[in-house]
Amino acid sequence: MELLNLAVKTIFIENIVLAYFLGMCSFLALSKKVETATGLGMAVIFVLGITCPLNWGINEYLLNDGALAWTGNEQLASLDLSFLNLILFIAIIASIVQFVELVLDKYFPPLYQALGIFLPLITVNCAILGGSLFMVERDYTLPQATVFGISAGMGFFLAIVGMAAIRKKIRYSNIPPGLKGLGMTFIITGLMSIGFLCFSGIKL
Amino acid sequence: MAKLKETVLDPLSDNNPITVQVLGICSALAVTIKVETSFVMSLALTSVLICSNLIISLLRNVMPSKIRMIVEMTVIASLVILADNILKAYMYDVSRQLSVFVGLIITNCIVMGRAEAFALQNPPRLSLVDGFGNGLGYSAILIVVASLREVIGFGTWYNYQVLPLAYEGNGLVILAPGAFIIIGLIIWIQRSVIHKVEED
């Protein structure tokens, strides 16, 4: 129940794009077509769902204050390596993305075709690194981290597909020249974000 | 000399990293609730950008192009860790408010984008200046957005009361939608001034 609550909170109330502004760059650049938006959204769910638990493990057993206690070595146990988390997380994310790409290419070619060029792009998507950093900051447990990762990805999926659909609808609208493209996208995002504000306060 | 000047001034308006190149939007929106936090964030980003441009430009002839992404990532990540720790040591309160967004400078596309687009092809001195110019362009937008949001939302500017105390803060501007709409409007104004129209 608590996990379900966390999922609802992460998808709707604290939507990673509309409330925390993460992953904006790809959100703006790739929301022109519904198909590409769907592909990217799926890829983000996938990668967030894998990297969050993995980075949780890294943080818990390698980096945190006293995390190396399992080695039984006192000197190691007294280390606090948490300042290394940024560089290690980004390395993990980059290698996982590469690894996922290889596995998909070998065993699930249709899915690989569908995700295509979006996988490599994800390495530099701040939603992924942001997910891991939020998870550390909020002291999640392993099940919480997994649920958080997947539902953050679903939040991103929801936002980008919705955005793509709206942009398709307004293609022939008469927009003032300076506002065309980026400016209008921002204002629509703002309105979407107001819509998502209505979810705040919902608790299961 | 003319080229140096152009490299600094160009990103300020005609080629602004946020409103024209569309880079580094995430942090521009998230940290702009108060002028103080966005000032510190701009400072952090500008210093990281200058250093990373300089280092990558110095390395540009020695690193093999196949692994250049990894090298760039490592350089940027190390600089960000440095900035993060300096902030934690000397400005703990602000660093708490910025939370994960200092760390997210790593994936901020401005740093990576300038490294790829400029520092890899240009000598160190020019790259350094380019980093400075883009940092300034980013800071300018950040400060403008933050000023609007703080004045309308709280009635203060850099924690000083500027509107009469009776002013009731506007809650919407402080929340996420306010940031999106304000930045949308700024883009509109700026693009109308420099006559840049995007074809969809």
- Rounded CA gap, B84 and B103, in Å? 7
Q: Mean pLDDT for each 10-residue chunk of chain B (200 residues)?
A: 79 81 79 89 92 92 82 88 91 85 82 86 91 91 90 88 85 87 89 74
Which residues on neighbouring strands pair with residue B157, listed in sequence order?
A: B160
Burial letters for A76-88: b for 16+ Cβ neighbours within 10 Å, e otherwise? eeebeeeeebbbb
Look at residue A193 in the predicted model and tell me its pLDDT.
92
Residue B160 phi/psi, 5-degree rounding, is -95, 140
Q: Which residue has the higher pLDDT, A120 or A64?
A: A64
Quickly list DSSP for B13-49: TTT-TTTTS---HHHHHHTTTSHHHHHHHHHHHHHHH
DSSP structure class, residue A173: S
- The answer to whether A86 faces chain B, any CB pair under 8 Å, is yes
Instruction: Find chain A residues with C-beta within 8 A of B183's C-beta.
Output: 186
- Rounded CA gap, A145 and A132, in Å? 9
CB-nearest to A178 from B23, B27, B192 is B192
- Report the mean per-residue pLDDT for chain B: 86
Give the β-pairing of B156-157 and B160-161.
antiparallel
Searching chain A, which residue's CA lies closest to the CA of residue B177?
A190
**Is A100 in contact with A50 (CB distance < 8 Å)?**
yes
Out of A13-27, A72-86, B155-169, which region has the weakest mean confidence (pLDDT)? A72-86
Count the alpha carbons within 13 Å of A200 in the hemisphere toward its beta carbon.
Answer: 11
Q: Is the pLDDT of residue A149 over 70?
A: yes
Q: Which residue has the higher pLDDT, A141 or A73?
A: A141
- Rounded CA gap, B180 and B173, in Å? 9
Instruction: Find chain A residues with C-beta within 8 A of B188's C-beta.
Output: 176, 178-179, 183
Q: Work out the number of other CB atoms within 10 angstroms of the CB of residue B72.
A: 21
- Report the mean per-residue pLDDT for chain A: 86
- Alpha-helical (H) ranges within A34-141 are 34-58, 74-77, 85-107, 109-115, 118-122, 126-137
Burial letters for B106-130: b for 16+ Cβ neighbours within 10 Å, e otherwise? bbbbbbbbbbeebbbebebebbbbb
Domain range annotation of chain B: 2-7+17-194
CB-nearest to B77 from A22, A24, A87 is A87
CB-nearest to B26 from A24, A94, A197 is A24
Q: Determine whether the interchain pair B30/A21 forms a contact, defined as Cβ–Cβ distance below 8 Å.
A: yes
Look at residue B199 in the predicted model and tell me its pLDDT.
60
Can you say whether residue A42 is alpha, beta or left, with left for phi > 0 and alpha for psi between -120 and 50 degrees?
A: alpha
Q: Is the pLDDT of residue A116 over 70?
A: no
Q: Determine whether the interchain pair B80/A86 forms a contact, defined as Cβ–Cβ distance below 8 Å.
A: yes
**Is A111 in contact with A104 (CB distance < 8 Å)?**
yes
Look at residue B68 in the predicted model and tell me its pLDDT.
81
